[in-house]
Chains A and B, each alone.
Chain A
């Protein structure tokens, strides 16, 4: 590991952080335009972030309350560190970060890591809405992860590797090589399960505005909230990058990455704009009915 590589990785993290904020603002703007409003300025998330950092008084509910947002941020950054961002043909290239053989499993773990941290932290906050949000979030995440893991395994069997970098490498040379076309069942399972992972309507049960207000974050304020905003923006981009790498052939430049992640994120926002929120039992049933069946099919097809 050279210093230059570390520098590039941190620069990549900075780009992802900013892109997450910009993307979040863009989609809030799209939502506003859909409702006939002008909407927030595109730079609003940065202002919110600095305002939250600048709050003068904070409260505490205990050690885990501190660690919740830290865990969530760690989840986002961990996901980033082990994810190849831009494919340049060089496995040790600048933008492949610290991707290594078998990182697909680690990435699955990091997806859950932040959520578990938040569960512990928000649980200590003691607000009833936090507990409800966490219970819903973990239940739904279990239902999302099952089809997602099956689809990941199917892709791993297909290319005989657990390395995200090698999966991206195998998809180079034209869109006909994308997993989307070579493994349609796994892709369908991922594209549907992704809606749950992104957490937009109809699967926004964790935050559930107008119902349990903002769920786990109810007691968080100031710097904690700033951290959580950052973590949220990084996680959103990284989930999109993960699905881009696995299904849509990765990216060969930052421009391609930005266009593809935008479209992937747009898919979940588009569905969210059209469909109202599910109840938790409807949501879980849906994940078990549709993406799970597709995931099982994907495994069967590539096992024989």
Chain B
């Protein structure tokens, strides 16, 4: 009896089990796909809030190192950080406060002061001289390097509006975006930094 029906019995038992297995595999596949969509990419996102020479320099050193290590890198410049991206000062069409803000803040990396012992810009000059002595790249070279390495540079639209900075006052190749632009990149990133 057992021998005669052996083959049929096995098939009867296997087919429903295979169906259950198939459903389980599909479920697992869906879970793996969902996890994969959430998994962080080889990506670095940073907010550059500071307009201090030393901090912005640190940001560019990290960004170029990350990009040179194959990481997709994005830098979001907001508030004082925007001053590092300025290339000229324009007063036309701005409110009095915006004009004042424009005059009181640096234009580009060359105008940035250091976060400690700046002494009206002497500290920044000293730091630059010390870096030159050690053969360390200057911030302008680091900025160019990050562009060459394909780092994404985004300026915060909201702080541009508040401070009265227009895109044509910023260096070439800068994108403009809001918080969602940053979060879009940050949620996919292994590493996020606020500088």
Chains A and B bind each other: no
